[in-house]
């Protein structure tokens, strides 16, 4: 955007009571926190600085960073943690701002290639009916094919008729592994290519953290580099970034990669190399050995350190069989690679898988943790770096841009050092704005008395007994957030016999469907784990209570956490105070953030874990929460919802 085209205006004017936004948004009211944050973002962009900003729920941080970004006239990339926020920014927030500004504004929405229909893979599938695993996939494919003739963007989220997790999507979308890039016969019509071209020409590009990290690590170089051409990066929901970046700065090897390679190779064999029957034979052999490896790894749902498998002779034998199958397949695909670009791509993928497998088997990477996870019919092996700070900082320095990291949950007891150290941020400016909501009037924190230790076998039964009168006082309208699936299932079975309100349980339906039912019923009790702790926005009386079972410390059995803790200990650090507590505080803040979503909302937070007042570190959790009245008496919960008694004095902890 040239200076002549840049929208003119002052940030304060835009966000003020008489400003441009007030003219296009009905009921808009200025918020001091929003204006202060916007000014900080403006200064960061002008000075090519680095800002960490925590803005409480209701601050309006989206407009607080979009307005100064657009007024700067710079090229901006905004990255979000979820595709839902990404779509909201592009389809809702940016159009509102476009109405308010007085200059042209080119915007683009860009997702990872797995979010776009791949015309080439659709074409291959069309000629290979044997690739469908069920009649449902055949039916879904016909719906996809009809949609492909009318879609302009190819974004699979447009097609609501096909379930988000339907088995057809991996068959008609591409990955970094199987994309042919510029050699693809459908390249000029490719929806990913078109989206990238639009992004290259845009002033504001909206992406997500997965794509951001993929581009950093050059996993998407088939379409050229997007990120280095930006003047400023704004990373919303930034609390998710360290974990996402860790996954991308390492690598993984999965049975799905093996299966997709064999299926693609067989499709190419039928089209281009019918005289090379060994391709199908060796492909079948690789698929069989990968299935045998999965069976040797035990039950589904395992997530553990590689050490658990290292001494398992059966697993090690199966790994060697997979390696032998890969070696033979790679040699054959090398010979066949001259037949077609598709076979050449299969050869490259096979070589890369062999390299990764050798790296995993080597076991001498002290700065990485090897771990695995098993599903019903598949597995994934990971190599994850223990520390990404140096790598991330190096990427930032190469960008020569301004950086804004923002979220409602980044600080721990008003301290941002945990977040900044994770990403290697060097002396960033750190600012915090409390929510403009009046938590002291709108919310009540209830910590029940006489709770057993969280490790006690009867902990959740006591918790549920104490939760029932709270749910009754709230007339349902409750989120119960758990730190484990085991606790959730126990609660679901227990409440079935005691709760008079509709029960909605994570896993019984897709997340979006459960949220829809919760809002529609108006008196439901929803039970959820990790995915319901953040990114869920229920406004109004339908959600009047959030019950949290325990302080959300990461599972001690998690292999990555175990390795990080051990690494910190070896270096003389205190992993509990410098890693585990900060992580748990941020997770708790996310869960608490579900309660008050609007200026009119009122609700009770029931925090059941007695460690909040028994342990000295409990103060870090309480001090990191919004300022609200606190009580230990269940009677005060009833009074909170009684209009005649709502202003009584509550007991401080």
Q: What is the mean pLDDT of residues 391-402?
A: 90
pLDDT at 227: 67
Decide: 545 and 477 in contact? Cβ < 8 Å.
Answer: yes
The model carries a pTM of 0.91
User: CA 60, 626, 561: angle at the middle one, nearest 5?
Assistant: 95
Q: What gap in Å lies between CA 314 and CA 307, rounded to an integer?
A: 14
Q: Predicted confidence band at 645 (pLDDT cuts at 50, 70, 90)?
A: low
pLDDT at 83: 84
CATH number belonging to the domain at 439-640, selected among 3.50.50.60, 2.30.110.10, 3.30.365.10, 3.40.50.300: 3.40.50.300
Q: What gap in Å lies between CA 603 and CA 608, rounded to an integer?
A: 16
Beta-ladder partners of 194? none
Under DSSP, the state recorded for 332 is: H
pLDDT in tens, 431-478: 999 999 999 999 999 999 999 999 999 999 999 999 999 999 999 999
Q: Is 165 exposed, middle or buried (0-12, 13-18, 19+ CB in 10 A)?
A: exposed
Provide the token pair at 213.
């990290």
User: CA 452, 457, 461: angle at the middle one, nearest 5?
Assistant: 70
Q: What gap in Å lies between CA 366 and CA 386, rounded to an integer?
A: 9
Decide: 229 and 110 in contact? Cβ < 8 Å.
Answer: no
pLDDT at 333: 96
Provide the token pair at 276.
């090379």
Question: Domain 249-385, what fold?
Answer: Fumarase C; Chain B, domain 1 (1.10.275)
- Residue 458 neighbours by CB distance under 10 Å: 9
pLDDT in tens, 124-181: 888 777 778 789 999 999 999 999 999 999 999 899 888 888 889 989 999 888 888 8
pLDDT at 219: 41
Q: What gap in Å lies between CA 560 and CA 244, rounded to an integer?
A: 13
434: nearest Cα among 604, 628, 616, 194 = 628
| Beta strands 379-385; 251-254: pairing state | antiparallel
What average pLDDT is seen over the chain? 91
pLDDT at 218: 64
Q: What gap in Å lies between CA 176 and CA 189, rounded to an integer?
A: 18
pLDDT at 224: 47
**Is the pLDDT reported for residue 182 higher than 90?**
no
Torsion of CA 205, 209, 212, 214, to 10 degrees: -140
- Residue 18 neighbours by CB distance under 10 Å: 8
Torsion of CA 123, 126, 129, 133, to 10 degrees: 70
Same CATH topology for 11-112+191-248+388-433 and 439-640?
yes
Phi/psi for 185 (5° steps) reads -65, -20
Q: Predicted confidence band at 651 (pLDDT cuts at 50, 70, 90)?
A: low
Percent of the chain with pLDDT over 70: 95
pLDDT in tens, 304-323: 999 999 889 999 999 999 99
**Is the pLDDT reported for residue 266 higher than 60?**
yes
Q: What gap in Å lies between CA 544 and CA 526, rounded to an integer?
A: 12
Torsion of CA 309, 312, 316, 317, to 10 degrees: -150
**Is the pLDDT reported for residue 363 higher than 90?**
no
pLDDT at 366: 80
**Is the pLDDT reported for residue 6 higher than 60?**
no
pLDDT in tens, 333-346: 999 999 998 899 99
Decide: 106 and 201 in contact? Cβ < 8 Å.
Answer: yes
Provide the token pair at 156.
């699979």
Under DSSP, the state recorded for 367 is: T
Q: Predicted confidence band at 281 (pLDDT cuts at 50, 70, 90)?
A: very high
Q: Report which secondary-structure segment, H or E, holds 208.
A: strand 204-208
Q: What does the domain layout of the chain look like in residue ranges?
A: 11-112+191-248+388-433, 117-173, 249-385, 439-640
pLDDT at 367: 87
| Beta strands 402-407; 603-607: pairing state | unpaired
- DSSP reduced 3-state for 527: strand
Q: What is the mean pLDDT of residues 502-525?
A: 93
Q: What is the mean pLDDT of residues 395-416?
A: 93
Choose the weakest-confidence range: 356-370, 391-405, 617-631.
356-370
pLDDT at 575: 94
Q: What gap in Å lies between CA 348 and CA 330, rounded to an integer?
A: 8
**Beta strands per DSSP E along 281-418:** 303-305, 368-374, 379-385, 402-407
CATH 3.10.180.10 fits 11-112+191-248+388-433, yes or no: no
């Amino acid at each position: 955007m040239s200076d002549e085209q840049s929208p003119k205006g002052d940030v304060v004017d835009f966000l003020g009571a008489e400003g441009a936004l007030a003219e296009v948004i009905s009921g808009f009211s200025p918020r001091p926190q929003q204006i202060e944050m916007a000014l900080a973002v403006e200064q960061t962009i002008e000075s090519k600085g680095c800002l960490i900003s925590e803005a409480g729920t209701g601050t309006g941080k989206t407009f607080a960073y979009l307005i100064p970004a657009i007024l700067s006239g710079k090229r901006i990339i905004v990255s979000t943690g979820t595709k839902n926020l990404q779509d909201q920014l592009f389809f809702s927030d940016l159009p509102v701002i476009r109405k308010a500004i007085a200059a042209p504004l080119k915007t683009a929405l860009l997702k990872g290639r797995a979010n776009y229909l791949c015309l080439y893979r659709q074409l291959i599938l069309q000629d290979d009916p044997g690739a469908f695993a069920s009649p449902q996939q055949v039916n879904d494919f016909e719906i996809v094919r009809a949609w492909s003739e009318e879609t302009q963007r190819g974004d699979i989220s447009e097609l609501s008729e096909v379930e988000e997790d339907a088995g057809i999507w991996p068959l008609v979308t591409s990955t970094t592994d199987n994309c042919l890039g510029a050699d693809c016969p459908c390249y000029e019509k490719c929806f990913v290519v078109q989206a990238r071209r639009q992004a290259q020409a845009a002033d504001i590009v909206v992406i997500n953290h997965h794509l951001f990290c993929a581009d950093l690590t050059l996993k998407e170089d088939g379409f050229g580099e997007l990120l280095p051409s930006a003047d400023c990066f704004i990373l919303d929901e930034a609390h998710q970034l360290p974990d996402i970046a860790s996954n991308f700065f390492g690598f993984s090897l999965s049975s799905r990669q093996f299966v997709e390679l064999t299926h693609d190779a067989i499709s190419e064999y039928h089209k281009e190399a019918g005289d090379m029957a060994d391709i199908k034979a060796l492909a079948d052999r690789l698929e069989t050995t990968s299935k045998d490896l999965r069976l040797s790894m035990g039950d589904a749902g395992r997530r553990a350190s590689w050490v658990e498998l290292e001494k398992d002779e059966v697993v090690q034998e199966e790994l060697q069989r997979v390696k032998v199958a890969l070696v033979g397949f790679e040699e054959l695909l090398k010979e066949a690679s001259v037949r077609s670009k598709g076979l050449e791509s299969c050869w490259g993928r096979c070589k890369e898988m062999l390299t990764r497998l050798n790296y995993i088997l080597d076991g001498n990477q002290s700065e990485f943790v090897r771990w695995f996870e098993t599903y019903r019919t598949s597995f994934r092996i990971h190599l994850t770096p223990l520390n990404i700070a140096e790598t991330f900082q190096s990427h930032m320095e190469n960008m020569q841009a301004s950086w804004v990291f923002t979220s409602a949950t980044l600080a721990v007891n008003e301290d941002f050092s945990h977040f900044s150290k994770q990403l290697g941020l060097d002396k960033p400016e750190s600012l915090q704005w409390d929510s403009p909501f009046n938590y002291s009037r709108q919310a009540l924190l209830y910590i029940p008395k006489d709770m057993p230790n969280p490790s006690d076998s009867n902990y959740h039964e006591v918790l549920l007994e104490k939760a029932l009168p709270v749910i009754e006082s709230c007339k349902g309208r409750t989120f119960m957030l758990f730190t484990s699936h085991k606790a959730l299932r126990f609660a679901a079975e227990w409440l079935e016999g005691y709760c008079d309100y509709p029960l909605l349980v994570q896993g019984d339906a897709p997340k979006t469907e459960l949220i829809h039912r919760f809002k529609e019923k108006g008196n439901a009790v929803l039970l959820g784990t990790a995915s319901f702790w953040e990114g869920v926005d229920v406004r109004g009386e339908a959600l009047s209570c959030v019950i949290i079972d325990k302080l959300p410390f990461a599972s001690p059995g998690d292999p990555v956490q175990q390795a990080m803790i051990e690494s910190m200990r070896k270096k003389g650090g205190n992993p509990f105070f410098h890693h585990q507590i900060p992580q748990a505080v941020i997770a708790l803040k996310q869960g608490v953030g579900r309660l008050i979503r609007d200026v009119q909302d009122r609700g009770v937070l029931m925090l059941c874990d007695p460690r909040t007042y028994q342990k000295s570190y409990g103060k870090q959790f309480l001090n990191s929460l919004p300022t609200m009245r606190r009580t230990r008496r269940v009677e005060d919960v009833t009074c909170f919802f009684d209009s005649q008694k709502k202003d009584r004095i509550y007991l401080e902890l």
